[in-house]
Amino acid sequence: MPEAHDSAEPIRSDDLIDLLSRKVIGQPSAIEVIIPSIQLHRSGLAPESRPVGVFLLLGPTGTGKTRTVEALAEVLHGSSHKVLRIDCGEFQSDHEIAKLIGAPPGYIGHGDSKPRLTQGHLAEVKSPDCDLSLVLFDEIEKAAPAMTQLLLGILDRATLRLGDGTEVDFAQTLIFLTSNLGARGMMDAIKPSMGFTPAGSRTPGELSTQLDQIAIQAVRKHFSPEFVNRIDHVVTYRPLDAESVAAILDQHIFELERHVHTRLGARSFDLDVSAGARAFLIERGTSPEYGARELRRMVHRHLTQPLAALVADDAVHPGAVVHVDVAESGDALSLRPEGGAARPERRIEKVLVVDDNEAILRWTERALRSHRYEAVTASSVRDAGRAMASTRPDAAVLDYVLPDGDGVALAMEILGDHPDMVVVLMSGMELDEEDELVCRHLDIPILTKPFLVDELVVLLESREAAVPRARWRTA
């Protein structure tokens, strides 16, 4: 018997429902049928000889079928990627099915086709918190008939025999099949063409029943009865209503805000998206044909990108609120930053980088430029002298070991002439005692190679807060 879920504190079922319904909006029937199978698994009472649950998810495009499986992975395993996903569109001919199970030894293609459905792959999508693997066969109606045969074995006995004879055990899995079967009929039902009953004359309940019937009929027509009998639940997704669409947009905006907060840290700001701007995004990002599929792209195009441009231009002060509204033209959003504290003016503009390693030089140069510093490079003490004379940088980043001298001696020379310069040493080795003492004395920070761009930038930024340079002379 499979072991019950053994994490220290598994998420309670109520919380699971709550978490999932916040991620998958307006599809309660999907959540209702999925949760009991997770309880079954946790109880340890799931039968060993078949998958824990088999679900066929049907319904119009962009209503959350695939999102449901991703959201479940987020809740159970902490990442939407913890799903073994098979895009059935890739397996439209029977011989392509070999890509799933690997060709038997001796056959052409053995060795160069790595099976996609192995025990190892199933294990990869588990997590320390949960030992249930989620397997998604997306758009199954697109796959060749051999796929149905293969699935029959998995659904019935929870085993799959690979090309090389090994058996894969699917007992600890939830299997999701999604399909657009009946989608055309559903579309006609949702948005009848001229002369048919207008959608408005039915209640949402009547439409739901009608969609269920269309879905079941399409499934029975397409799959054999023995296949249909092995499916535990057929769920028909509903067209999203206005309230659900608004909630999905809220999610996207919330995600964007969270991204801003985590990426910009102390420099971050808030968003205030007006009702008009929300309506603008919903109008362009949702439709009966594509559900909420385009919403994310519209948010990206009309909100994320213009916001990124503002940030890159330094037009948003830390702590500001960016008000988002519909532009006067009516075909774009306007972003208006308000408040926040201006960043202190930059004291460091030009940075000299001295290293005889060409690759590091180029990398550092690019990194600095991407943070809008001007970079000047030199590959020896002699070159550095010339660069100092001709360009007069505000900061210098010096390699410890140089072909014609060393970084510490160079730093002392530079600071002797320009005590207000910021000097940073980079080194791939420990400094000798005397050099270390000099650096400490002159307050020269040491960057240990390899370092991240951010480490260098943070160092430079921290030194921007003007250090009284006078003490350098007395040091």
Ligand X SMILES: Nc1ncnc2c1ncn2[C@@H]1O[C@H](COP(=O)(O)OP(=O)(O)OP(=O)(O)O)[C@@H](O)[C@H]1O
Chain positions contacting ligand X, by CB under 6 A: 24-27, 61-67, 178, 180, 248, 291-293, 296
Q: Which two tokens stand for residue 198?
A: 């207008």
Binding segment for Mg ion (CB under 5 A), chosen from 12-20, 57-65, 212-220, 302-310, is 57-65
* Cβ-based neighbours of 12, under 8 Å, separated by 6 or more: none
Asked if residue 68 binds Mg ion (CB under 5 A), the reply is no
How many Cα neighbours within 13 Å face the side chain of 339? 10
- Least Å distance, CB 89 to Mg ion, is 11
CB 178 within 8 A of CB 138: yes
* Rounded least distance, CB 239 to ligand X, Å: 10
**Rounded to an integer, what distance in angstroms lies between the CA atom of residue 57 and that of residue 388?**
67
Stretch that binds Mg ion, among 2-10, 60-68, 179-187, 368-376 (CB under 5 A): 60-68
Binding partner selected for residue 63 from Mg ion, ligand X, none, CB under the kind-specific 5 to 8 Å limit: ligand X
Please count the other Cβ atoms lying within 10 Å of the Cβ belonging to residue 308: 12
By CB under 5 A, is residue 66 in contact with Mg ion? yes
The residue of the chain with the least Cβ separation from ligand X equals 64
Among the listed ranges 47-55, 65-73, 77-85, 320-328, the one in contact with Mg ion (CB under 5 A) is: 65-73
Residue 340, token pair as written in the block: 């926040």
Pick the closest to residue 283 from 329, 326, 334 (CA basis): 326
Considering beta carbons, is residue 51 or 62 the nearer one to ligand X? 62
Q: Nearest-5° angle of CA 72, CA 300, CA 311?
A: 120
Least distance to ligand X from the beta carbon of 333, Å? 19
H-helix or E-strand containing 367? helix 358-370
Smallest distance, Å, CB 293 to ligand X? 4
- Sign of the dihedral defined by the CA atoms of residues 188, 192, 196, 199, in that order: positive
- Quick one: what does residue 62 bind among Mg ion, ligand X, none, with the CB cut-off 5 to 8 Å set by partner type? ligand X
Which one, 25 or 98, has the nearer CB to Mg ion? 25
In the complex, least distance from residue 30 CB atom to Mg ion, rounded to whole angstroms: 13
The one of ligand X, Mg ion, none whose footprint includes residue 296, by CB under 5 to 8 A per kind, is ligand X
377 lies in the site for Mg ion, by CB under 5 A: no
Candidates 62-70, 80-88, 224-232, 359-367; binding stretch for Mg ion (CB under 5 A): 62-70
Cα-based angle 343, 346, 349 (whole degrees, multiple of 5): 150
Torsion of CA 44, 48, 52, 58, to 10 degrees: -170
Which residue has tokens 């999701």?
A: 176
Nearer to Mg ion, 65 or 463 (CB): 65
Q: Which partner in ligand X, Mg ion, none is near 25 (CB below 5 to 8 A by kind)?
A: ligand X
Beta carbon nearer to ligand X, 54 or 98: 54
Count CB neighbours of 264 within 10 A: 13
Nearer to Mg ion, 180 or 208 (CB): 180
Q: Which two tokens stand for residue 178?
A: 């999604």
Any contact of residue 179 with Mg ion (CB under 5 A)?
Answer: no
Least distance to ligand X from the beta carbon of 233, Å? 16
| Part in contact with Mg ion (CB under 5 A); list of ranges 63-71, 95-103, 126-134, 338-346 | 63-71
Query: For Mg ion, which is the closer residue by CB, 133 or 179?
Result: 179
Beta strands 173-179 and 133-138, pairing class: parallel
> With respect to ligand X, which residue has the nearer C-beta, 47 or 204?
204
Cis peptide before 450 (omega within 30 of 0): yes
Least distance from ligand X to the Cβ atom of residue 68, Å = 7
What does the CA dihedral 161, 180, 278, 305 come to, rounded to 10 degrees? 50
Residues 184-213 that bind Mg ion (CB under 5 A): none
Question: Which burial class, exposed, middle or buried, applies to 172 when counting CB atoms under 10 A from its CB (0-12, 13-18, 19+)?
Answer: buried
Instruction: For the chain, report the end-to-end CA distance as a whole number of angstroms.
Output: 73
- Residue 291 DSSP class: B
In the structure encoding, which two tokens stand for residue 130, read together?
């949960």
| Binding partner at 118 among Mg ion, ligand X, none, C-beta below 5 to 8 Å by kind | none
| Spatial contact of 251 and 226, defined as CB atoms under 8 Å apart | no
**Residue 71 Cβ vs ligand X, minimum distance, rounded to whole Å:** 8
Regarding 27 and contact with Mg ion (CB under 5 A), the answer is no
Q: Which region, judged by CB under 5 A, interacts with Mg ion, from 23-31, 58-66, 153-161, 461-469?
A: 58-66
For ligand X, the closer of residues 285 and 407 by Cβ is 285
Stretch that binds Mg ion, among 61-69, 84-92, 248-256, 293-301 (CB under 5 A): 61-69
Residue 77 or 238: the one with the smaller Cβ distance to ligand X is 238
Which of 230, 51, 48, 22 is closest to 133 using CA atoms?
Answer: 51
Q: How far is the CB of 178 from ligand X (least distance, A)?
A: 6
Is 422 in contact with 403 (CB distance < 8 Å)?
Answer: no
Distance CA 158, CA 340 (A): 59
Residues that bind Mg ion in the complex, under the rule CB under 5 A: 65-66
